[in-house]
Amino acid sequence: MKVTLIDKMGTDLTVVNAARVSYAKTKEQFEDNDEKLIAFLAKHNHWSPFAHTSLQFRIKAPVFVARQLVKHQVGLSWNEVSRRYVDFPPEVYKPESWRGRPIDSKQGSAGTVDLGHAVNHNLETVTESCLILYNTLIDKGVAPEQARMVLPQSMMTEWYWSGTLYAFARVCNLRCAKDTQKETQDVANAIAMHCSKEFPISWKYLIDKHT
């Protein structure tokens, strides 16, 4: 999996100026007292000043991760590789380990599960069979938009994801939480790292401390 920052607009000063323009005031440099203003905006959910900053990512992750993240729509734009148009050999995600089902929750995972040689062999065989069948259908002249239906959810996909700093804070406050699926959490943590680097003051107050 991979999260690459492609572009960004604005700084913490952008947030400050977007808020201060209400009083017909702006400034050229970020000052220590501006952090108090950002903290106030975040605490009281004055989100619009944060929406004047934005980031654009290119993300590579399995389909099952993408389908969780694409549920976040407000303040975000998503464009993904389409298997209707491309037919190059798919790449498949393989986890480092298989996690167990938690006893006291309907979601998430706990610990690891040893599948054994036979099950691991079946996994490899089934995955390889899906890829072979897909390539066979393409070679037979089947349209990519139909051939793709035999591909597994573990197939890797890529997308551009653009949005406001505030929108990505909403994503990360949910998806960086400890009870989120690990693979999705890994992507969200990488997004959070970039947001923290580019907007260190704003991000400190937008992100929930439990994440």
Q: What integer pLDDT is reported at residue 135 of this predicted model?
A: 96
Q: With pLDDT > 90 as the criterion, what percentage of the chain qualifies?
A: 78
Mean pLDDT of 59-87: 96
Mean pLDDT of 19-43: 91
Q: What integer pLDDT is reported at residue 28 of this predicted model?
A: 92
Q: What integer pLDDT is reported at residue 6 of this predicted model?
A: 98
Calculate the dihedral angle through the C-alpha atoms of 100, 187, 198, 200, rounding to the nearest 10 degrees. Answer: -20
Q: With pLDDT > 70 as the criterion, what percentage of the chain qualifies?
A: 98
Say whether pLDDT at 25 is over 90.
no
Q: What integer pLDDT is reported at residue 209 of this predicted model?
A: 59
Specify the CATH class of 1-211 in words: alpha beta
Distance in angstroms (rounded) separating the CA atoms of residues 36 and 119: 56
Active site (catalytic) residues: 175
Position 106 confidence tier, pLDDT thresholds 50, 70, 90: low
Q: What integer pLDDT is reported at residue 210 of this predicted model?
A: 42
Say whether pLDDT at 146 is over 90.
yes
Per the prediction, the chain carries an average pLDDT of: 93
Q: What integer pLDDT is reported at residue 108 of this predicted model?
A: 73
Distance in angstroms (rounded) separating the CA atoms of residues 153 and 150: 10
What CA–CA distances, in Å, run from 185 to 21, 58, 99, 139? 36, 16, 15, 37
Position 211 confidence tier, pLDDT thresholds 50, 70, 90: very low
- Per-residue pLDDT tens for 153-192? 999 999 999 999 999 999 999 999 888 999 999 999 999 9
* Full-model pTM: 0.91
Q: What integer pLDDT is reported at residue 178 of this predicted model?
A: 85
What residues form DSSP beta bridges with 25? none
